[in-house]
Structure 1
Amino acid sequence: MTTTVLAAGYGGSEVLTITTERLPEPGPGQVRVKVRAIGVNPVDHKTYSGAMSADPARLPIRLGSEASGVVDAVGDGVTAVTVGDEVIAYRASGAYTTDLLVPESALTPKPATLGWPEAAGLMLTGATAWHALVASGAHEGDTVLVHGGAGGVGQMVLQLARLWGISVVATAGPANQNLLRELGATPITYGEGLLDRARSAAPGGYAAALDLIGTDEAIDTSLALVAADRVVSIAAFGRARDGITLIGGGPGSDPGTELRNTARAELAALAGAGKLTVTVDRSYPLAQAGAAHDYLRSGHARGKVILLP
């Protein structure tokens, strides 16, 4: 038997339920993974909040897209992995479960040096950060402004930028200024006077701006500093009229599927070599997925929130 978290309706975390199902068997090209850890992401809540869709025909909704675990069974035609392999599953629909069925193509070998929670929290934020930096057009020697540097994606952006020789000025609240410094960025606080602080922090100007939080303050500040097509956002979908570059899963955005898939092996290699760190803020039992969502939505998470089956 396998245990799975489902959204039985639309609303807040109270609609999440735990169900027990028969152990799934892999079909051709599929792999069954015994899950060790699951990454929690804002899109997981948005999926059942009603903000994206409230179509009753979609219920119940399976949640999650990234996990780590051990290959437990393989279907016909699978050649890249065998039973016992430690793997990372990304773009893994329905990852909030103890036994996950995924296509072979969704798996990346897990580095032996990477813990289960860190592996489960690597790919979505890492691939998003990779995509954002590439979409910005920034190169070695450039300076970029990052809004929301202390979050999961922000921390990945800062680390990748440092590896790629890109300087970063990043915003965060007062409590996270030291964290930004540790990740190699010049920290500034958001709020009144942000534009002046951003200008002072980079007298030579910015090549691009990355918005990871979706606020009007972030977009307005960015547009005052760089051309609209050099503003990349993963969240400000309501500002498409301004000509900014939208990436991810929102309306009118570039999903960057091929680029993100290509990045997976490099992200795993960097993390395995200790050059890329996944900060795990909190872990919750799978049965407490609702509490994990409530914490993530509070805006206080400093890194990844993880579920443990």
Structure 2
Amino acid sequence: MRALQFSEYGPSDVLRVADAPEPHAGPGQIRVKVLASGVTPGDWYLRSGRFRDRLPIPLPHIPGVDAAGVVDEAGAGVTGVRPGDEVFGMTDLARLGGANAGYAVLTLWAPKPAAWSWTTAGGAAANIETATRVLDLLGVREGTTLLLEGAAGGVGTMAVQLAAARGATVIGTASTRNHDFLAGLGATPTTYGPGLAGRVADLAPGGVDAVFDCAGSGSLPDLVALAGGPARVVTIADLDAAAHGVHQSRTGGGQGADPQSAGALDAAVRLAGQGRLTVPVAAVFPLAEAAAAHELSESGHARGKIVLTP
């Protein structure tokens, strides 16, 4: 099969589309013919070598942790799905990749909502799982006031909608050009940066109950102060979290398809069927132009998810 790969760490130009062995579904897994797959910040963190000491990977490496496609193999013990079914889901995160290819093995999946295109579904799973996990960690529910730093990105756009569906009030930070976009998703928008505390106080005179940092922009001291303590803040993007007493939750979650993660995708399918969950797509690139996709992700200016097609 053809797959996106890198054989050395470095800038985006180390990416190549080349032949790779086809994977096969093991116990509890399915294989799909990939029709769309996502690009996450973790993909270019790995490619750049930023995590080479913390998360060593065998090279060559196929990036990508979420994909959508048509099932063509089901492993031992798999029930409720069969070849020909249309699904979206995630790879085994112990591998830290494998989705940006002609075929991908998924350990977590759900039926593709009829209202979603293939590109929409291809970029959905990892952001849904991450957003749901962090909202659970923060105890976001009806009546919660949530501050979401970096709300216009892939995880942020999912977190806005999922928190709003729980009955929470969401204040989302983004550049001014994205304010109308965020309001359309269910957030009250404001700008990030100096003066954030005053702007949030104007929008939430009673304060905020929880803070979800998707940006990793160095704002954790301010976010901790706004939340009233580090226990009410979770980041997925700031590597200095421990220095501020803040919990860092890895994008894409833990390894394998635990029941809670599976429930996150099933809940998303229900919301999509009700017209209450969309997946904003920032851009779609063919696999051969993956370097440009990685560069857009690195820029930090993508509004929503970046998706690759075969």
The count of residues paired between Structure 1 and Structure 2 equals 303
What is the TM-score with the length of structure 1 in the denominator?
0.90
- C-alpha deviation, 1:298, in angstroms: 1.2
- 8 Å Cα contact 2:68-2:121 kept in structure 1: yes
Q: Give distance in 2, aligned partners of 1:257 and 1:26.
A: 14
Candidates 95, 100, 104, aligned match of 1:96: 100
Instruction: Measure, in 2, the Cα distance between the counterparts of 1:295 and 1:303.
Output: 11
- Name structure 2 gaps, 5 residues minimum: none
- Secondary structure of 2:206's counterpart equals coil
Deviation at 1:204, TM superposition (A): 0.9
Is contact 1:114-1:272 (8 Å) kept? no
Q: C-alpha distance in 2, partners of 1:302/1:249?
A: 17
Equivalent residues of 2:154, 2:303 under 8 A apart: yes
- CA–CA separation in structure 1 for the residues paired with 2:70 and 2:249: 31
Shift of 1:120: 1.1
CA change 1:202–1:27 in 2 (3 A) is closer
SS at match of 2:8: coil
The residue number in structure 2 matching 1:128 is 130
Partner of 2:165: 163
Instruction: Report the CA distance between 1:24 and its aligned residue.
Output: 4.5
Counterpart of 1:160, as a letter, is: L
Equivalent residues in 2 for 1:9-158, closer than 5 Å: 9-21=8-20, 23-27=22-26, 29-53=28-52, 58-92=58-92, 93-102=97-106, 105-158=107-160
CA distance in 2, matches of 1:24, 1:241: 40
Contact persistence 1:247–1:255 (CA under 8 A):
no
Structure 1 residue 28 displacement after superposition: 5.2
Deviations 1:157-183 (A, max 9, x none): 111111111101111111111112112
Corresponding position of 2:290 = 289
The CA distance in 1 between the partners of 2:59 and 2:293, in whole Å, is 21
More deviation, 235-244/125-134: 235-244
Q: Identity of counterpart residues, as a percentage?
A: 42
Q: Structure 1 residues 13-22 or 23-32, which shifts more?
A: 23-32
Range moving further from structure 2, 116-125 or 266-275: 266-275
Root mean square deviation of aligned Cα = 2.3
In structure 2, the partner of 1:269 is 270
The answer to which of 130-139 and 46-55 deviates more is: 46-55
Aligned pairs for 1:132-211 (under 5 A) are 132-211=134-213
Question: Hey, what does 1:299 align to over in structure 2?
Answer: 300
CA-to-aligned-CA distance 1:29-63 (integer Å, 9 cap, x gap): 54331111001111011112111006987211121
- Tell me the secondary structure at the aligned position of residue 266 of structure 2: helix
Determine if contact 1:247/1:254 at 8 Å carries over to the other structure.
no
Deviation at 1:239, TM superposition (A): 2.5
Q: 1:70 to 1:156 in 2, by over 3 A?
A: same
Q: Say which is worse superposed, 31-40 or 105-114, in terms of deviation.
A: 105-114
CA distance in 2, matches of 1:26, 1:138: 36
Stretch deviating more after TM superposition (115-124 or 267-276): 267-276
- Cα offset for 1:108? 1.7
**Any unmatched runs of 5+ in structure 1?**
none
- Tell me which moved more, 229-238 or 260-269: 260-269
- Alpha-carbon distance in 2 for matches of 1:78, 1:138: 32
User: Which deviates more, 240-249 or 187-196?
Assistant: 240-249
Equivalent residue letter for 1:4: A
141-150 vs 237-246, which deviates more? 237-246
What is the CA deviation profile of residues 229-262 of structure 1, one whole-angstrom value per residue up to 9, with x for unaligned ones? 0011111231313221221159xx9889743333
Q: Give the aligned residue type for 1:10.
A: Y
Q: Give the residue type in structure 2 aligned to 1:31.
A: I
Deviation at 1:297, TM superposition (A): 1.1
| Partner SS state of residue 80, structure 2 | coil
In structure 2, the CA distance between the partners of 1:199 and 1:94, relative to structure 1 (3 Å rule), is same
Could you tell me how far apart the structure 2 residues matched to 1:169 and 1:46 are? 28
Q: What SS is found at the alignment partner of 2:148?
A: strand
